[in-house]
Amino acid sequence: MTPFGTRLAHAIEERGRFCVGIDPHAALLHEWGLGDDVASLERFALTVVEAVAPVVGVVKPQSAFYERFGSRGVAVLERVVAESRAAGALVLMDAKRGDIGSTSQAYADAYLDPTSPLGCDAVTASPYLGFGSLDPMLEACRRHGGGLFVLALTSNKEGPEVQHARTGDATVAGTVLAHLRAANAGASPVGSFGAVVGATIGDTDEDLDINGPLLVPGFGAQGGTVDDLTRIFGAAARWALPSSSRDVLRAGPDVGALRDAALRGNDAVRGLGA
């Protein structure tokens, strides 16, 4: 399989770096005039896929908004994955999984094995049982050409109590970034193992150049701007994937309006890292 990093580099070149979150919040369902039920979830999610998956490089469904409807919601998520990939978009599953041993392997099998109904191009993961706990996911990525985005510096106010804590001479976040840098060593044009770094973290002394992609939630409606990304990421911005959901999804349910919103987002970050 072609490594995820290579496929991502091609997607950025062909379609741009903007990542659209497909997050069916109950409030957004309501804004679209829909109910809070599985039929509405399906209509919402597949309308967004129809609008954006043919024109953006990466889509990012948040699994929790589908899981809350049980097995029927997960069935919708399976369609989101399959139809997005069929339209040419890479699918990054925002699941933030993390565990040890056979459980970590099971998560890898669920999200990174192409034979799984939920098999995606990449998945988000939590390293807070120790970075080594993610080894089954890293190995699955290498075997299947998948990608992993590991939580490093998040924008939520609770994050610093863990991520800024020190372990030896480095912060926890710095240790995570160092592990990712090592995992990506020698990869070209870019590695397959990325970090999640919020668009509104403010200035940081951490080295964000990990020779891997950087998923950047919080762009747009949550306050992150292009100037913020340029200031925070510096040269590492060339592999940043600014992500937004509400700025795009509020344009629905009209397919054309959704697509225009996604294209505007892409245009806004096109020159990032140049």
- Indicate the Cα dihedral angle 188, 214, 19, 192, nearest 10°: 40
Closest CA to 113 of 30, 1, 23, 33: 1
Total number of residues shown for the chain: 274
Which residues are known to be catalytic?
Answer: 96
The tokens for 216 are 């950047």
DSSP 56-122: -SEEEEBTHHHHTTTHHHHHHHHHHHHHHHHTT-EEEEEEEE---HHHHHHHHHHHH-TTSTT--SE
In the chain, the N- to C-terminal Cα span, in Å, equals 29
What's the sign of the alpha-carbon dihedral 44, 50, 51, 53? positive
Contact 119, 81 (CB under 8 A): yes
The single residue listed with the structure tokens 């150049």 is 209
**Which among 58, 42, 46, 139 is positioned nearest to 93, based on CA atoms?**
58
